[in-house]
Amino acid sequence: MPVSRSAVLGWIAVHRNPTDVVVYTMGACNEWQELSSSRLDFFVGGAMGYASTIGLGLALARPGCRVIVIDGDGSLLMNLGTLVTVAAHAPANLVHLVLDNGHYEMVGRVPVLRPAGLGFAAVAAASGQQRCHEIHDLSGLEAAAHDVFGTPGPIFCAIQTELSPPEPMKGAEGLLGAPQAAAELRDALTTDPIKAPGR
């Protein structure tokens, strides 16, 4: 059965290294802020669909650190072309995680329109990506942990998640504006020691 969003984010937090950049968006906002206060966290708000693009840019610019993108199915559909661009560049330090609950959760829980049975891992694979996972339950999540976090990427992982209860994006008012957040992440990347993944 689908995994709760909190379980998925907890799984990411456990396997995330202190030097990993985490780019997160939309539905993950509330819970990720409760799990992590790293200077290497970057929230993408007001630009639905662009977490994967920003993550790709960071991965290419900083090959010495791993970049984990926490995306949503609705967000991915708004910028599906990124899958092809990731395949073309194939950064070994990029992990793209898509929480797939079948809804545009942040804009009123509108169902995502797509053919029945279509998995995003298959779409990523058809785009040319080599390491693609489709996870349907908690046991699949644990089984994929080593491959997702312990091997070179790019890794694409679509995770079937439960639709969470509706809630406002709490804390969004306390988030930095995009220019300030970008400057803070840049400072963190240039002042903190960054080691290659796995070293």
Q: How confident is the model at residue 198 (pLDDT cuts 50, 70, 90)?
A: very low
Task: Tell me the pairing of strands 110-111 and 67-72.
Answer: unpaired
Mind listing the pLDDT tens digit for each residue in 70-84? 999 988 998 999 999
Structural domains in the chain, sorted by start: 5-189 (3.40.50.970)
Look up residue 132 and give its amino acid.
C
Comparing 38-42, 98-102, 115-119, 173-177, which segment has the lowest mean pLDDT? 173-177
CB burial class (10 A; 0-12, 13-18, 19+) of residue 76? buried
Pick 61 or 42 by higher pLDDT: 61
Average pLDDT over residues 133-141: 93
Average pLDDT, the chain: 83
Write the CB contacts of 81 (distance below 8 Å, at least 6 apart in sequence). none
The pLDDT of 178-196, averaged and rounded, is: 67
Which residues are registered as beta bridge partners of 157? 97, 133
- Alpha-carbon distance 63 to 92, whole Å? 8
Q: Which residue has the higher pLDDT, 178 or 131?
A: 131
| Average confidence (pLDDT) over 49-67 | 94
The pLDDT of 18-46, averaged and rounded, is 79
**Is residue 196's pLDDT more than 50?**
no
Question: What number of other Cβ atoms are within 10 A of residue 14's Cβ?
Answer: 10
E strand map for 39-180:
41-44, 67-72, 94-100, 103-104, 110-111, 131-135, 155-160
Paired tokens of 55? 């993550």
